[in-house]
Structure 1
Amino acid sequence: MNFKKIILTIVIAVYGMSCGKDYLQLDNPNQQVITTYWKTENDVIMSVNAIYQGLYYDGTFLRFAQCALDFRGDDMMSPSPWDVLSNTGSFKLFNNTIMQQWLWIAFYGGVTRSNFVLSNIDKVPFKDQNLYNRLKGEALFLRALNYYYLVTFFNNIPLITKFYEKPEEYYPAQVTPEVLWNQVYQDLDEASKLLPVAYSGADLGRATKGAALAFLGKSYLFNKKYDLASAKFKEVMGLGGYDLMANYGDNFTDEFENNKESIFEIQFSREAGGITVGWVSSPGADWSKTTARAITFAPAPFGWNDAAPTQWIVDEFKKEKTKTGDDDPRLRASIYYNYPGCELYGQKFATVYAAELGKLGVKKYGNGGGKFLDEKDWRSGINERLMRYSDVLLMYAECQNELDHRAESAKYIQRVRNRANLPDREAEFAALTKVQMQDRISHERALEFALEGHRFDDLRRWGWLQDPNKLTELKSHDAEFNSFVPGREFFSIPQAEMDANRNLKQNTGY
């Protein structure tokens, strides 16, 4: 039994939070209640498992989180006929759409489950102090992870750090983003001191010390705290055990999951549970522990074609040849396009798209290697890698540039380039100005993390959406940016939440 299957042993499900509703009402007399539940170490283990379960819902990483993260970048667009998805990519979502509502409910559900554990863990007499530390660390990490996505999606949100018991507590006001980020820093810092460096056997895939440090560094970087971020990334590098996979494409299949480059990934599996896709509600024994990313992103006729790479990112890959004169190998690992020998799902690209040879399709996190005819059973078992070691290296390089250590920055940029067999330009990069190096890092990150949901957050924290020249550049990369309105770098607060809680105020731009 591994961690993917352990999640199926959950006996509690703490539901997603809506500020105006009481989700603690359990009318089933066969279900446990708070006053009788917290007795043993195993009760806490199952409760922590329930937090991980929250990452499997449609509003988190079953499907919608990837769409929200990916579609707004200039490396991807959404040709989806479903306006919820296509409007996400073109910044046209308004108050009454389900994208914002599902993200809010599902990620706040993770916060609520984390608070459930953190508010009750000390009621249980632990015999094993290491187990107590690990479980508390996991709950802190997962609360911070859920808040990390909530604040980057919505910016102005309530901060909830306890399990509410009184009706008057159900209507919290928003806090400033700075207050929220401070909680994320605090939780991740404490988690990093409690979590183990690694796991084995059935626990493989749980949050580690490296995961907490990496997300803490990324959170600092997001807020331009470059010295603090740099120190945390350096700690991750000093842990040992992490390195780049020799083959870049091995990071996006089910064959090399939890590899040496992976710092934190969500554990999906076709073998765990049943075949019922668990969209919402309390998890059941027949639920599949799979993701709908593949069918959503795969090109038609193999999937729904709700996502497509932009021509700009393909052209960006082709700007520089490898040492042997070939295209950057990350291009073919990421995107289906018309090149000699391109095949997908056991068929030749040129045959399938004979009338549309300019078509571009998403390859990353898909099952097009030949084992499956298509994605239409909705059940991909490929783990979602939320943090890779290459991200730590390039974020560290970015910090070093901002701290005016150009030579150090260039060294780590070239380390990532070496895997792609790109020419050694370390000395050239070390001589760049800060602004030139910022542009170089933008290019390198675009290629290393194409179609992985990082690009829009990068653009936002670099201030490109507020820079008229950069915004014009983005419009030339992806026409969806033509409908960008200032303020819509964040989603609107869901209208259902506004209706339920009068203390909430809408984000600007809506």
Structure 2
Amino acid sequence: MKIKYYTYTGAVLLAIGVMASCKKSFLELTPQGEFLESNYYANPAQALTALVAAYDPLVTETGGLDGTYTDPLGPLNSASDDCFAGGGGSSDVPDWQAINNYTMTPAVGPQAGFWAINFQGVNRADVLLEKLPNVPGLSEDVLKRYTAEAHFLRAHYYFDLVRLFENVPLILNTLQISEVYQQPQAKPEEVYAQVEADLTAAIPDLPVTVAASENGRVTQGAAKALLGKVYLYEKKWALAASTLEEVNGTPGGTSTYGYKLLNNFGDIFSPTNKFNSESIFEIVHTGMQNYTWSNWNQFKSNVYVQMVGPRSFTGPIYYAGGYGFNPITPNLVAAMKGDPRYPYTIANIDSLTKATGTSYDESYQGTGYYIEKYAPKVKNIVTTGLTDLNWPNDYIEIRLADTYLMEAEALVQAGTNTGRAGDLLNAVRARVGLAAETPTLDNIYKERRLELATEGHRWFDLVRTGQAPAALAFKGFQAGKNEILPIPLTETLNGTQIKQNPGY
């Protein structure tokens, strides 16, 4: 292992500046520089800043600890049958190209970014959990809430790690430098057990709702939703269903947590409609930072928006250009033809340019179809900093339609209450004016693809349901190998205990 992935015991990195839309939020603090751990956690204000630092890896999408571009949507969409890698050519962002073509090696692929940013989050949560009980002046209620948030965050980071790599070290305390190289990989079931334990510990002390000024902080509903998702991955169907039912409430209605499907599907993704009633866990991005390319590793905007726009688009009222990544596959285009969600999911740039006299440059692997949900639209341009690097679009990582369909799947798998499973499935369909369908696994899987397309869930769904070898054969997916990523090469060198994943 690289020492820098684990040795944040000496300093907490606190250069944070994140906002929720244009209003000041919990995640926007004045940058504090770096503080030695021995001099930090001296008062409640410093504890809060350290908590923000533990959230920060969720939103840091430019520059993992190894300097790579770490936004998760790019490689996850590239790996799926929804998108190609795209970009300016076959060597543009090589990590995305490698996972798109399943030519990953321990040295080439997105794994270094995933590994680095998630273990950074684990370490910050570990430090927080160790230090919080001894912070002078921290009230009991605040201590409970901060501790619960740290448990949630550690669970979140480890859930991503175990899904992506399967075989990872399980580190629950800060380490001395001499200990770093001696950390073995845990069994996947041990990691899942810890994720469950952290979420179970977090739930009672998390708030049911948060004020607008705290948007982006985790709530009880978000923790339950993530726990239900974890149970689903473990095939604990009854637990998944019962946990997600607490989040979902009556299908089509308003849950006890205030969640409700939006009437207009397209409104879900608008940066002017952040933290809407369908949002359960939302990753905050800001368009208010005055940043340029010299601020690499500091961006808290949504750079992925710029990445997926059509290249060199010319037109005053549509798209503000882009880099042409993640063009939509013909497979997804065909699947969504005639679906009411199509125009909010897929942008047919070929047809648009022909109809309006505008133009664009087709990207590598281009199909004429691009991502609409996160498109760089002229109407969303902000006036601060460089436009390319200051898009304000949030990423809703867990939303209500997702949890509806997860619960429906768990109910069908468990063979119980298929009536409720149908109600959940068809509430999602009714929202966009589609007729009811029988709640079979095939229908639920199909609905997940159409509802959640390009939102980063498809590759995980294909892998966990065993559909990946067939669905991704056209990209070179190899069964028994590509269900997980290679361990980054640098993590297996210099006498570490880390063993490479099979096939790599």
TM-score where L is the length of structure 2: 0.84
Given that residues 98 and 109 in structure 2 are in contact (C-alpha distance below 8 angstroms), is that contact kept between their aligned partners in structure 1? no
Q: What is the rounded CA distance, in whole Å, between the counterparts of 1:349 and 1:461 in structure 2?
A: 43
User: What secondary structure sits across from 1:377 in the alignment?
Assistant: helix
CA RMSD of aligned residues (A): 2.7
Counterpart of 2:445, as a letter, is: S
The answer to whether residue 216 in structure 2 is matched with residue 205 in structure 1 is: yes
The answer to whether residue 158 in structure 2 is matched with residue 147 in structure 1 is: yes
Counterpart of 1:263, as a letter, is: I
Given that residues 61 and 299 in structure 2 are in contact (C-alpha distance below 8 angstroms), is that contact kept between their aligned partners in structure 1? no
Q: What is the rounded CA distance, in whole Å, between the counterparts of 2:47 and 2:361 in structure 1?
A: 56
1:72 alignment partner, one of 79, 84, 87: 79
2:39 alignment partner, one of 29, 36, 44: 36
Given that residues 258 and 265 in structure 1 are in contact (C-alpha distance below 8 angstroms), is that contact kept between their aligned partners in structure 2? yes
C-alpha distance 418-203 of structure 1, shift in aligned 2 (>3 A)? same
The answer to whether residue 131 in structure 2 is matched with residue 120 in structure 1 is: yes
Q: What is the rounded CA distance, in whole Å, between the counterparts of 2:28 and 2:463 in structure 1?
A: 35
The answer to whether residue 252 in structure 2 is matched with residue 241 in structure 1 is: no
Q: What is the rounded CA distance, in whole Å, between the counterparts of 1:106 and 1:309 in structure 2?
A: 27
Counterpart of 1:174, as a letter, is: Q
Cα-to-partner distance string for 1:11-57 (whole Å, 9 max, x where unaligned): 36xxxxxxxxxxxxxxxxxx532222122111211100011222214
Per the TM alignment, residue 152 of structure 1 is displaced from its structure 2 partner at its CA by 1.1
Aligned residue number for residue 54 of structure 1: 57
Aligned residue number for residue 232 of structure 2: 221
1:265 alignment partner, one of 264, 272, 282: 282
C-alpha distance 100-139 of structure 1, shift in aligned 2 (>3 A)? same
Per the TM alignment, residue 255 of structure 1 is displaced from its structure 2 partner at its CA by 0.8
Counterpart of 1:185, as a letter, is: E
The answer to whether residue 447 in structure 2 is matched with residue 452 in structure 1 is: no
The answer to whether residue 417 in structure 2 is matched with residue 423 in structure 1 is: no
The answer to whether residue 485 in structure 2 is matched with residue 491 in structure 1 is: yes
C-alpha distance 358-454 of structure 1, shift in aligned 2 (>3 A)? closer
2:418 alignment partner, one of 382, 386, 406: 406
C-alpha distance 308-501 of structure 1, shift in aligned 2 (>3 A)? farther
Q: What is the rounded CA distance, in whole Å, between the counterparts of 1:118 and 1:102 in structure 2?
A: 24
Per the TM alignment, residue 274 of structure 1 is displaced from its structure 2 partner at its CA by 4.2
Q: What is the rounded CA distance, in whole Å, between the counterparts of 1:419 and 1:243 in structure 2?
A: 11
Q: What is the rounded CA distance, in whole Å, between the counterparts of 1:503 and 1:44 in structure 2?
A: 33
Consecutive unaligned residues of structure 2, counting only runs of 5 or more, are 1-18, 250-255, 313-320
Given that residues 244 and 403 in structure 2 are in contact (C-alpha distance below 8 angstroms), is that contact kept between their aligned partners in structure 1? yes
Matched ranges for 1:35-434 at <5 A = 35-55=38-58, 56-58=60-62, 63-80=70-87, 81=89, 82=92, 83-97=94-108, 99-165=110-176, 167-238=178-249, 239-272=256-289, 274-275=291-292, 278-280=295-297, 287-301=298-312, 302-318=321-337, 327-337=338-348, 342=352, 351-352=358-359, 359-368=368-377, 370-372=379-381, 377-404=388-415, 405-425=417-437, 429=438
Cα-to-partner distance string for 1:367-425 (whole Å, 9 max, x where unaligned): 2254449x962221111111001111010100111111322211110000011111233
Given that residues 8 and 273 in structure 1 are in contact (C-alpha distance below 8 angstroms), is that contact kept between their aligned partners in structure 2? no
C-alpha distance 487-350 of structure 1, shift in aligned 2 (>3 A)? farther
Cα-to-partner distance string for 1:43-76 (whole Å, 9 max, x where unaligned): 2111000112222143679753112322111111
Cα-to-partner distance string for 1:125-166 (whole Å, 9 max, x where unaligned): 445322112111111111111111111111100011111135
Q: What is the rounded CA distance, in whole Å, between the counterparts of 2:69 and 2:209 in structure 1?
A: 25
Counterpart of 2:62, as a letter, is: D
C-alpha distance 401-350 of structure 1, shift in aligned 2 (>3 A)? farther
User: What secondary structure sits across from 1:387 in the alignment?
Assistant: strand
Q: What is the rounded CA distance, in whole Å, between the counterparts of 2:86 and 2:283 in structure 1?
A: 27
Counterpart of 1:312, as a letter, is: N
Q: What is the rounded CA distance, in whole Å, between the counterparts of 1:151 and 1:501 in structure 2?
A: 23
Per the TM alignment, residue 204 of structure 1 is displaced from its structure 2 partner at its CA by 1.6
Q: What is the rounded CA distance, in whole Å, between the counterparts of 1:278 and 1:102 in structure 2?
A: 18
C-alpha distance 274-88 of structure 1, shift in aligned 2 (>3 A)? same
Aligned-residue identity in percent: 29
Aligned residue number for residue 284 of structure 1: none
Given that residues 310 and 362 in structure 2 are in contact (C-alpha distance below 8 angstroms), is that contact kept between their aligned partners in structure 1? no
User: What secondary structure sits across from 1:290 in the alignment?
Assistant: coil
Q: What is the rounded CA distance, in whole Å, between the counterparts of 1:349 and 1:183 in structure 2?
A: 55
User: What secondary structure sits across from 1:336 in the alignment?
Assistant: strand
C-alpha distance 350-447 of structure 1, shift in aligned 2 (>3 A)? farther
User: What secondary structure sits across from 1:219 in the alignment?
Assistant: helix
Per the TM alignment, residue 195 of structure 1 is displaced from its structure 2 partner at its CA by 0.7
Q: What is the rounded CA distance, in whole Å, between the counterparts of 1:127 and 1:142 in structure 2?
A: 20
C-alpha distance 290-403 of structure 1, shift in aligned 2 (>3 A)? same
Cα-to-partner distance string for 1:89-141 (whole Å, 9 max, x where unaligned): 12111011262112211111011111110011011144532211211111111
Q: What is the rounded CA distance, in whole Å, between the counterparts of 1:79 and 1:63 in structure 2?
A: 17
C-alpha distance 411-504 of structure 1, shift in aligned 2 (>3 A)? same
